[in-house]
Amino acid sequence: MPYPNYLANMLFGILAGAICGIRSTDVHTGMRAYKKSMLDAFPYNPNGNALPVELQVGPAALGFKCYEFFIDYKPRIGESKLEEMEWRSLDG
């Protein structure tokens, strides 16, 4: 993982703990598993902008438990399928 991404993940994890009371090392990860009972109990918007964060912070606020299991990180094989974003000025 690039160092700036690592630092950003750490910062977001600290903020999630300070603001929402949850402990996490990566609140933006999409690699999660959920119990069906939690998904049935928590009203979430699948089209929302922050779905991974919402599905961690929201259930924790309702008293559901969240556990992290660490996996070894290995460099991606092949090329990313994500397109590079083109940044434009809001002025035009």
Q: What is the pLDDT of residues 7-36, one digit of tens each?
A: 888 888 888 888 777 787 777 776 778 888
Supply the pLDDT for residue 89.
47
Supply the pLDDT for residue 66.
80
| Lookup: tokens for 49 | 């902008």
| pTM score over 0.75 | no
Question: Which residues, other chains included, contact 42 with Cβ-Cβ below 8 Å and sequence gap of 6+?
Answer: 55, 58, 59, 62, 64
| Lookup: tokens for 40 | 């049935």
Mean pLDDT of the chain: 76
CA distance 15 to 24: 10
